[in-house]
Chains A and B, each alone.
Chain A
Amino acid sequence: MLTEGKALKVSITVSEGAMYHGASAYASILDFLFYRGVSGATVMKGVAGFGADHHLHTTGVVEVSDKLPMRIEFIETREKVTELLGKLEEMAGSGLIDVQETNVVKAAKFSKEQKAAPEHMKMEGKARMMRIYIGESDRWQEKPLHEALVQAMRANDIAGVTVYRGVLGYGAHRRVHKEKPLHLSRDASIMLSAVDTEDKLKSFLPVVDRMVEEGLVVLSDVDIIKYSWRAPELETD
């Protein structure tokens, strides 16, 4: 990754319609830079210009020119630029490449923090499933209880949770309200299902205790067959 200090700025100017191996040259160059691990690159489209052929190219109203200048710029260390220049010269074809010395005052940073993999990444084998049954209209501190529970689980690093809405149902927690105990409730039943290790769920139970006034928490043993965790993609801006 590029750091503060001396560096080189490379500008490659090609025609928009220029081709390299059957694909547009500027896009091929950008791909090349991307996959060779360049810190960042920008493609800019000129609105008018002229080059070696001394033809003036502009965007006509009637015809859309494909000869407008395209400029690809990137900043890298001298070593990296030296490594790439040969191939870039080939790809730029009849275009122009210029290199200037520059000074990086502030290097760009990853917009997402690179975090170490959480411990439950390797979770497999024996685990526990926790299902929480509540009503859709239940609230906790002015927000729907199921949303609050999902946030609480996230904050407590529970591996994952899914919220389900029942289409029909009745339950013990609805029953206490009703005069007729078996009356069918139209307030949808919500079920949250989470899987994690016994310890993690056990340490989360006091939170459930505090938040759920009325409802059911059901715990059961499960075997985790697969729990794969996708690393966040690197941002290359």
Chain B
Amino acid sequence: MKEQFEARMLRIHFGESDKWEGKPLHEAILAKCQELGMAGAIVYRGIEGYGTSTRVRHASLWKLSRDAPIMVSIIDREDQIAQLLPHLDAMVGEGLIAASKVEVIRYSRAAGEMKTS
């Protein structure tokens, strides 16, 4: 089954050591996405980078320090993204959120349960 629709993509950038209520921030964001019924979210770990704090983040050299750059990517309908944004605002202390308009083609095996409005 194939569907095509317009959507929005959010990319949230921060550090792996960032926390939210004692939990790693990326896990907290993922949990919030699930709670709000977002279509999906993926966490990526960068191998090197620097960000708002201009700390150079390095995953390979200091395996134990665990402060690699993290990027969470979320794609969903405009209204779903709008619903998530205030939560992200509160959770992401130091970081960057980028949004862009995207076109989506979705392939699924069964008639999906995702609402494409």
Could you tell me which A residues sit within 8 Å of B by CB distance? 133, 164-176, 181-182, 184, 189, 191, 205, 208-209, 212-220
CA distance A8 to B30 in the complex (A): 73
CA distance A46 to B27 in the complex (A): 67
Contact with A along B46-82 (1 / 0, CB 8 A): 0000000000000000000000000001010000000
Contacts of A212 in B (CB 8 A): 107
Contact with A along B97-117 (1 / 0, CB 8 A): 000111111111110111000
A-B pairs under 8 A by CB, number: 96
Could you tell me which B residues sit within 8 Å of A by CB distance? 2, 7, 9, 26-27, 30, 34-35, 37, 39-45, 73, 75, 100-110, 112-114
The answer to whether A176 and B41 have CB atoms under 8 Å apart is no
The answer to whether A176 and B109 have CB atoms under 8 Å apart is yes
CA distance A214 to B108 in the complex (A): 4
Contacts of B41 in A (CB 8 A): 169-171
The answer to whether A176 and B30 have CB atoms under 8 Å apart is no
The answer to whether B30 and A220 have CB atoms under 8 Å apart is no
What's the least CB distance linking B13 to chain A, in Å?
14
| Closest B residue by C-beta to A181 | B113
CA distance A191 to B44 in the complex (A): 10
Partner of B106, one of A168, A216, A219: A216
The answer to whether B103 and A220 have CB atoms under 8 Å apart is yes
* Interface SS majority for chain A: mixed
> In the complex where A184-B30, A209-B2, A220-B100 touch, is A169 in contact with B105 (Cβ < 8 A)?
no
Known: A175-B113, A218-B75. 14 other contacts (CB 8 A): A133-B75, A167-B45, A169-B42, A172-B40, A172-B106, A172-B112, A174-B40, A176-B109, A176-B113, A182-B34, A209-B2, A216-B104, A218-B7, A220-B101
Contacts of B27 in A (CB 8 A): 168
Interface core residue of A169, A181, A212 (most chain B CB under 10 Å) = A169
The answer to whether B42 and A171 have CB atoms under 8 Å apart is yes
Partner of B109, one of A184, A213, A219: A213
Partner of B104, one of A168, A181, A213, A218: A218
> In the complex where A176-B108, A184-B34, A215-B107 touch, is A168 in contact with B102 (Cβ < 8 A)?
no
CA distance A189 to B105 in the complex (A): 17
The answer to whether B114 and A172 have CB atoms under 8 Å apart is yes
The answer to whether B42 and A219 have CB atoms under 8 Å apart is no
Contacts of A219 in B (CB 8 A): 102-105
Interface core residue of B44, B45, B112 (most chain A CB under 10 Å) = B44
Partner of A217, one of B104, B108, B112, B114: B104
What's the least CB distance linking A223 to chain B, in Å?
12
Contacts of A174 in B (CB 8 A): 40
Contacts of B114 in A (CB 8 A): 172, 175
CA distance A176 to B110 in the complex (A): 7
The answer to whether A173 and B108 have CB atoms under 8 Å apart is yes
Partner of A214, one of B45, B75, B103, B109: B109
Contacts of B45 in A (CB 8 A): 167
> In the complex where A168-B27, A184-B30 touch, is A205 in contact with B105 (Cβ < 8 A)?
yes
Contacts of A169 in B (CB 8 A): 30, 40-43
> In the complex where A176-B113, A184-B30 touch, is A171 in contact with B107 (Cβ < 8 A)?
no
The answer to whether A171 and B40 have CB atoms under 8 Å apart is yes
The answer to whether B103 and A172 have CB atoms under 8 Å apart is no
